[in-house]
């Protein structure tokens, strides 16, 4: 079991990560919502591992990583960011972060990276090789091939949730957590299934349940798709009432 400090400016994200970490048998000994507080809490708690979100206001996650590692060279920091922020991840690794997690966060990802960081002795040569490999890889190729299971966008009172065919039950759980941050008074939520032809039925039931929860918080909920086969599948499944009642084919 490891003592872990969670650093993220989102209370929802911290709560979600805390739940995953404790379910894996580890102990969350503290939380920080800024990079500056992360440094103070590290000194006070001396955790075994720090999870550090990179996109925070004020002192960034990368800057906080530098400050901690400069004082505590044995600090084990795992940075968290999105796929499109690849350069920020490389920067943090060069500053001394031991490993990284790409959003959306799942229990499987957290377990694998935590075990790697906790159990392995730090090999500076291998660490440098990992950073160089990330730099050498064709970023355009990776971004083109990588399609996140979902993407949330916000334009004023409109929240758009793009759903992709590779969404799973685990990523759906992450979506449930992330969308909470957007559910404010008067917001309208649009679920866009794009040109998807099929999604696993168990996952669809999870999405249907999510829509039910969103109904209670948003002023309006709508859904669109561009594939007739997908539209017909939804309309023929009476258990998907919440999706069925708002889905339009365009």
Q: Is it the case that residue 247 has pLDDT exceeding 90?
A: yes
Q: What distances in angstroms separate CA 25 from CA 10, 19, 116, 211, one per listed residue?
A: 23, 10, 15, 31
Pick from 200, 212, 197: nearest CA to 168 = 200
Residues in the chain: 250
Instruction: Please tell me the pTM assigned to this model.
Output: 0.56
Overall average pLDDT of the 170-183 stretch: 80
How far apart, in whole angstroms, are the C-alpha atoms of residue 2 and residue 192?
40
CATH 3.30.750, domain 150-249, yes or no: yes
Strand positions, DSSP E, 48-199: 49-53, 77-81, 99-102, 150-155, 158-163, 188-192
The SS3 assignment for 193 reads coil
5-62: per-residue pLDDT in tens? 999 999 999 999 999 999 999 999 999 999 999 999 999 999 999 999 998 888 889 8
Half-sphere exposure of 206 (CA within 13 A, CB side): 17
Least confident of 134-148, 159-173, 184-198: 134-148
185 C-beta neighbours (distance < 10 Å), count: 8
Overall average pLDDT of the 173-194 stretch: 86
DSSP 85: G
Query: Which residue stretches of 95-158 are H helix?
Result: 107-119, 124-136, 139-145
249 membership: H or E segment, kind and range = strand 247-249
160 C-beta neighbours (distance < 10 Å), count: 17
How far apart, in whole angstroms, are the C-alpha atoms of residue 17 and residue 110?
9
Name beta bridge partners: 222.
Answer: 190
127-159: per-residue pLDDT in tens? 666 666 665 654 544 444 556 788 888 888 899
Kindly list the domain boundaries of the chain, sorted by start residue. Answer: 3-142, 150-249
CB 50 within 8 A of CB 38: yes
* CATH superfamily to which 3-142 belongs: Response regulator (3.40.50.2300)
51-102: per-residue pLDDT in tens? 999 988 888 898 999 999 989 988 999 999 876 567 788 888 888 899 999 8
Name beta bridge partners: 158.
Answer: 155, 188
φ, ψ of residue 96 to 5 degrees: the values are 125, 0
Average pLDDT, whole number, for the chain? 87
């Amino acid at each position: 079991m490891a003592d872990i400090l969670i650093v993220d400016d989102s209370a929802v994200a911290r709560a979600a990560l805390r739940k995953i970490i404790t379910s894996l048998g580890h102990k969350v000994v503290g939380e920080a919502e800024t990079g500056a507080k992360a440094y103070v809490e590290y000194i006070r708690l001396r955790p075994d591992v720090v999870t550090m979100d990179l996109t925070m206001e004020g002192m960034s996650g990368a800057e906080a990583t530098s400050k901690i590692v400069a004082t505590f060279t044995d600090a084990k920091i795992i940075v968290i960011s999105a796929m499109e922020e690849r350069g920020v991840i490389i920067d943090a690794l060069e500053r001394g972060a031991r490993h990284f997690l790409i959003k959306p966060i799942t229990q499987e990802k957290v377990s694998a990276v935590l075990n790697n960081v906790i159990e392995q002795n730090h090999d500076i040569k291998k660490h440098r090789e990992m950073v160089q490999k990330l730099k050498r890889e064709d970023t355009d190729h990776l971004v083109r091939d990588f399609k996140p299971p979902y993407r949330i966008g916000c334009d004023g009172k409109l929240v758009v949730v793009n759903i992709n065919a590779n969404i799973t039950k685990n990523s759906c759980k992450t979506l449930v957590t992330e969308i909470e941050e957007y559910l404010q008074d008067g917001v309208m939520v649009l679920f866009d299934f794009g040109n998807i032809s099929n999604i696993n039925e168990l996952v669809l039931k999870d999405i249907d349940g999510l829509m039910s929860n969103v109904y209670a918080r948003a002023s309006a909920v709508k859904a669109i798709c561009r594939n007739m086969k997908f539209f017909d599948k939804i309309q023929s499944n009476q258990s998907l009432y919440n999706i069925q009642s708002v889905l339009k084919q365009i």
